[in-house]
């Protein structure tokens, strides 16, 4: 009897010593620490490759109800994501942009909340300067300088942050994107020297081949590739393969299992071909989007009234596809 009691007490002691963040998922901040880019791959603090699999918010300014510890718990444990993308639109277009009348202080605080809730739920977080219809990242460069200077000062000692400095440059030359990056990257690195930064590529972050032919010269840098499986197929993968073969580090910070409109049709089969391609090349990927908007890319059923305590059946076709895919890939 005494022996059983001793064993029981030891088990309780062991359980109390287990760190809160020792989640089962692989490649999390608790297990891989601060990220780096080594030999063209995203790696953990130990220099060994990692693959991040997650989801993007729909737009910080309209996602406040989801930026909570409880919802981030669901993203981490129900979806199984080890990365969450805080997409903050710079220019309006349906959502109030940071640079076009948005409440800068409130948006900044929501971004910081996302960093902390991601960390407390053992996830990496992408801080996404979500340019889109603004096209040229230089258009709001003064706001970008202020934002990235301030947030990199706040995040310099956090081990789960990735900076995405321009979501989808478009109708702008690679040279202009490089000029923007040559301003913003040093600002971030001055505060957060070892940070991982992702740079957008021309034509809505599809032309990683152009970046591969004329890359920037900084460590711990990755280049953005975006795709939507019902719109982008083998030809787009061939462009990516060209860049991969030239050693360009790539991060798919946004993809969809729908058309590039974010809406119907789905193409789940092609999405599976893309994930096979990315996983075979060790490329991390983040699906668009964590919302219940009336679009097929929205991961939550539009009928779902809950903001947390989410279960599998609360998710839409794309959301359930994501959960199934992450489960399958994480177990491999």
Q: Which residues bind ligand IDC (CB under 6 A)?
A: 93-94, 132, 167-168, 204, 226, 228, 254, 260-262, 288, 293, 295, 297
Distance in angstroms (rounded) separating the CA atoms of residues 148 and 188: 6
Q: Which is nearer to ligand IDC, 228 or 321 (CB)?
A: 228
Instruction: Report in angstroms how near the CB of residue 126 gets to ligand IDC at its nearest.
Output: 13
Task: Say if CB 259 and CB 26 are below 8 A apart.
Answer: no
Instruction: Report in angstroms how near the CB of residue 158 gets to ligand IDC at its nearest.
Output: 25
Strands of the chain, DSSP E: 36-38, 41-43, 53-57, 83-89, 124-130, 161-164, 196-199, 221-228, 250-256, 285-290
Residue 254 appears among annotated catalytic residues = yes
What pairing do the DSSP bridges indicate for beta strands 83-89 and 53-57? parallel
List Cβ neighbours of 76 (8 Å cut-off, separation of 6 or more). Answer: 23, 25, 82, 121, 122, 123
Instruction: Report in angstroms how near the CB of residue 254 gets to ligand IDC at its nearest.
Output: 5
Instruction: Report in angstroms how near the CB of residue 262 gets to ligand IDC at its nearest.
Output: 3
Q: Which residues is 325 bridged to in the sheet?
A: none
Distances from the Cα of 120 to the Cαs of 25, 68, 227, in angstroms?
Answer: 14, 11, 30
- 164, 168, 270, 295: which is the annotated catalytic residue? 168
- 254, 270, 311, 331: which is the annotated catalytic residue? 254
User: Catalytic residue positions?
Assistant: 168, 254
């Amino acid at each position: 009897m005494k022996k059983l009691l001793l064993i029981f007490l030891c088990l309780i002691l062991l359980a109390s010593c287990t760190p809160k963040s020792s989640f089962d998922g692989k490649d999390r901040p608790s297990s891989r620490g601060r990220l780096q880019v080594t030999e063209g791959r995203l790696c953990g603090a130990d220099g060994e490759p990692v693959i991040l699999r997650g989801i993007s918010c729909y737009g910080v300014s309209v996602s406040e109800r989801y930026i909570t510890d409880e919802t981030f718990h669901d993203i981490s444990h129900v979806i199984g994501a080890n990365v969450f993308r805080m997409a903050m639109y710079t220019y309006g277009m349906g959502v109030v942009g940071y640079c076009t009348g948005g409440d800068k202080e409130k948006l900044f605080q929501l971004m910081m909340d996302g960093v902390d809730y991601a960390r407390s739920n053992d996830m990496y977080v992408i801080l996404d300067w979500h340019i889109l219809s603004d096209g040229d990242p230089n258009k709001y460069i003064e706001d970008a300088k202020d934002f990235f200077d301030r947030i990199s000062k706040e995040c310099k000692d956090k081990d789960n942050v990735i900076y995405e400095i321009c979501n989808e440059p478009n109708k702008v030359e690679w040279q202009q994107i490089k000029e923007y990056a040559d301003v913003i990257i040093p600002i971030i690195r001055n505060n957060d020297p070892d940070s991982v930064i992702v740079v957008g590529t021309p034509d809505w972050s599809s032309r990683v081949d152009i970046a591969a032919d004329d890359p920037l010269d900084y460590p711990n840098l990755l280049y953005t590739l975006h795709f939507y499986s019902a719109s982008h197929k083998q030809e787009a993968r061939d462009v990516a393969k060209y860049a991969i073969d030239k050693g360009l580090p790539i991060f798919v910070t946004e993809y969809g299992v729908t058309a590039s409109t974010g809406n119907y049709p789905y193409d789940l089969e092609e999405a599976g071909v893309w994930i096979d391609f990315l996983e075979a090349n060790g490329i991390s990927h983040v699906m668009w989007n964590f919302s219940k908007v009336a679009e097929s890319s929205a991961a939550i059923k539009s009928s779902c009234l809950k903001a947390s305590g989410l279960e599998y059946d609360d998710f839409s076709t794309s959301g359930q596809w994501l959960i199934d895919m992450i489960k399958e890939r994480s177990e491999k």
